[in-house]
A = this chain, B = another copy of it.
Amino acid sequence: MNGTADPAIFVLLNEIAIIEHLARNQVERVLPDGLRLSHFTVLNHLVRLGDGRSLARIARAVQVERPAMTNTIQKLEARGLVRSAPNPRDGRGKLVFLTEAGRAMRGQAVAVMATALAPVPHGLTAEEIADLLGPLRRLRGALDRARDATEHAQDATADETAPQP
Residues of A near any B CB (own CB < 8 A): 1-2, 4, 6-26, 29, 44, 47-48, 63, 110, 113-114, 116-117, 119-124, 126, 128-133, 135-147, 149-150, 157, 160, 163
Once bound together, how far apart are the Cα atoms of A129 and B13, in whole Å? 10
Interchain CB contact under 8 A, A129 and B20: no
Minimum Cβ distance to chain B for residue A120 (Å): 5
A144 — which chain B residues lie within 8 A by C-beta? 22
A-B pairs, top 10 by smallest CB distance, nearest first, are A123-B142, A22-B143, A20-B20, A119-B146, A120-B142, A123-B138, A8-B129, A15-B136, A13-B23, A21-B63
By beta carbon, the residue of chain B nearest A128 is B135
A23 — which chain B residues lie within 8 A by C-beta? 13, 16-17, 143
Interchain CB contact under 8 A, B8 and A48: no
